Amino acid sequence: MDRVDRLLALIAELRAAAPDPLTVDELAERLGVSARTVRRDLELLTHGGLPVRSERGRGHVLAPEPAPPPMSEVASLVGPVRDTLAAAVRSGRVVRLAYTDQSGARSFRDVEPQGLVVGPHADYLVGWCRMRDGPRMFRVDRIGAAYLAGRAAAARDLDELLAALRVPLPRPPADDGPHGPTGAGRARAWTLDRLEYVRARLREATAEARDGGPGAAALRTVLAHLARWTRWQVAAIRSAATGAPPPERDVPPGFGRAMPAEERERVIQDAMALRSLGELARDLQEVLAGLGHWAAGCDDALWERPVADPRPSGPPGPRRPLADVLAGWRGPLAHIEWHLDRLAEHPERPVDLDEDDELWVVDRCPLQA
């Protein structure tokens, strides 16, 4: 390994062992280097400020990081906003925000904080907004003040909240200046990067199932669901962005009329029943490859204006940037990741379901809500 990786591994070993010490010989064996190299690296890190102390006859030990003191309610009002938010996340306490939204309207929100997300253009507090009664993301630079209340936050384990934490859109700060290829290039690059990551996850999941890994039957059901839905979503988004009508073959049967989610899913599964896992995986990869070609070559202006978010039934959702509609929450890429995450958590059929129930892996799909 190179020097930077070796230093990272050395610190990781010391932290994993703390508060117990490790001898130079033990570290050298774990890292696969000489004792002389370990001594030289320890000296470098110590001079750089790493709190490593040597205990005679026992080895080297990394001093534990001191826990931050509990923050009082008064301190939360007068201290930096970020410190208050971090304390709220750590302690699981409700935080009250003075928040100014994008339109300039100020509101006061009680939020159950779940995490802080650091992005390239803005940082976000993710949590459950009690005023809106739902998961929300708040840009930290729009939080004018924060107050750490004494109330404990409720335990939240909702797919929408996890998705909000997983796929924040890295938007640049809004300004009044001209918009051009720079913004388009950033949005396109971010979307294509997310696309390649999702395609890689699909390849890994398919390869594992083919090698006899758990959950092959569940993956096949999910791929049937995703192949049809993703084809429809991609065609609908391209239509909304360009104004062109979607090809007729990209509209699954029955989607044009009100249909219960379970019935719609049965239609999809019946239509895909004769296709193998490998064929379904290729179908889905072909749709994503086509999306990548289109996203890479479409006009810059499409990335600069909002697009109506198509929905399987009812009116379109709120207008959002194209990158957000493609790769944000409820978009085709996040939809695929949602199902892969569920399979990773529960790869086998639950034992309390009937043997003829084939839809358990899609019955909580966010698009079915």
> What is the pLDDT, as a whole number, of residue 355?
40
pLDDT of residue 351: 38
Name the CA dihedral angle for 131, 132, 135, 140, rounded to a multiple of 10 degrees.
Answer: -60
Torsion sign across C-alpha atoms 238, 231, 136, 165 = negative
109 conformational bin, left if phi > 0, alpha if psi -120 to 50, beta if neither? beta
Q: pLDDT (tens digit, 9 = 90+) per residue, 3-56?
A: 888 888 889 998 888 888 899 999 999 988 999 999 998 888 888 888 888 888
Q: What is the pLDDT of residue 174?
A: 44
> Domain ranges in the chain?
3-62, 73-166, 181-368
Which residues have C-beta within 8 Å of that of residue 102, sequence separation ≥ 6? 174
Instruction: Tell if the pTM clears 0.85, that is, is over it.
Output: no
Query: Which residue ranges in the chain fall short of pLDDT 50?
Result: 167-182, 249, 251, 256, 347-358
| Per-residue pLDDT at 147 | 92
pLDDT value of position 180: 36
The three-class DSSP label of residue 320 is: strand
Predicted pLDDT of residue 356 = 41
Q: Which CATH number describes the domain made up of 181-368?
A: 1.20.120
3-62 adopts what CATH topology? Arc Repressor Mutant, subunit A (1.10.10)
The highest-level CATH class for domain 73-166 is mainly beta
Predicted confidence (pLDDT) per residue in 121-147, tens digit: 778 888 888 887 777 888 898 999 999
